[in-house]
Chains A and B, each alone.
Chain A
Amino acid sequence: ELKVEQNPLFLSMQEGKNYTIYCNYSTTSDRLYWYRQDPGKSLESLFVLLSNGAVKQEGRLMASLDTKARLSTLHITAAVHDLSATYFCAVDFFTTNKLIFGTGTLLAVQP
Chain B
Amino acid sequence: DTAVSQTPKYLVTQMGNDKSIKCEQNLGHDTMYWYKQDSKKFLKIMFSYNNKELIINETVPNRFSPKSPDKAHLNLHINSLELGDSAVYFCASSQDLAREAQETQYFGPGTRLLVL
> Hey, which bits of chain A sit against chain B, CB under 8 A?
33, 35, 37, 41-45, 48, 50, 86, 88, 90, 96-101, 103-104, 106
Q: Is there an interface contact between B41 and A86, defined as CB atoms closer than 8 Å?
A: yes
The residues of B that contact A41 with a CB separation of less than 8 Å are 109-110
Interface residues of B (CB under 8 A from A): 33, 41-45, 48, 55-56, 58, 90, 92, 97, 102-110
B104, A33: Cβ atoms closer than 8 Å: yes
Besides A41-B109, A97-B55, 9 new A-B residue pairs in contact (Cβ under 8 A), listed by A number: A42-B90, A42-B109, A43-B43, A50-B102, A86-B41, A97-B48, A97-B56, A99-B45, A101-B42
Closest B residue, CB atoms, query A88: B43
16 A-B contacts, Cβ less than 8 Å apart? A41-B109, A42-B90, A42-B107, A43-B43, A43-B92, A48-B102, A86-B41, A97-B48, A97-B55, A99-B45, A99-B105, A100-B45, A103-B41, A103-B42, A104-B42, A106-B41
